[in-house]
Structures are given as structure tokens and as C-alpha cells.
Amino acid sequence: MAKAVIIGIPGEAGLWLADLDAGTVKPLNPTGELATVNGLRKAGGTFVKGVDLAVAVSSAQVALSGHVDG
């Protein structure tokens, strides 16, 4: 089972590393193949691996209320 997730969302230039065990989210400076994938993302591509649900919401409050923005 994954214990960390790399996150990139449209409009946000950087990537983020969410450490599920530590309960933290930190900026990530991609290198190697991850930098290549990030370049494709910046050009409009989407890369998904090992994730079965991902939803971008407008705020944490929206997520905590159980709503999914449309």
C-alpha cells in the first residue's frame, strides 16, 4: 500500500509530496523521470499511477463537508 502521494494540480506549477504516515504535505522538487513527467503535465498531459480516487476541490471545507465540486 502506498504511504505517500505526489500531487500536481492545474494552475499550480510545483508538485507536492503528501506523506500519509506523517500527515504532512510538502513542496517537491522533481528530478529524473519525475521531472520528465512533470514537464508533460505542464504541457497539458495527465499521468496517473497507483491512485484509484483523486478529486480536486475548491477548499478543504468542501471536502470535509462531503461535497464534490462540479
- Residues 17-55: pLDDT tens digits? 999 999 999 999 999 999 999 999 989 999 999 999 888
Query: Is pLDDT at 7 greater than 90 in this prediction?
Result: yes
Is 38 exposed, middle or buried (CB count within 10 Å of its CB: 0-12, 13-18, 19+)? buried
* 21 or 62: which leads in pLDDT: 21
Residue 70 pLDDT: 58
- pLDDT for 56: 87
Model confidence at 69: pLDDT above 80: no
Locus of grid cell 504511504: 3
| pTM summary value | 0.81
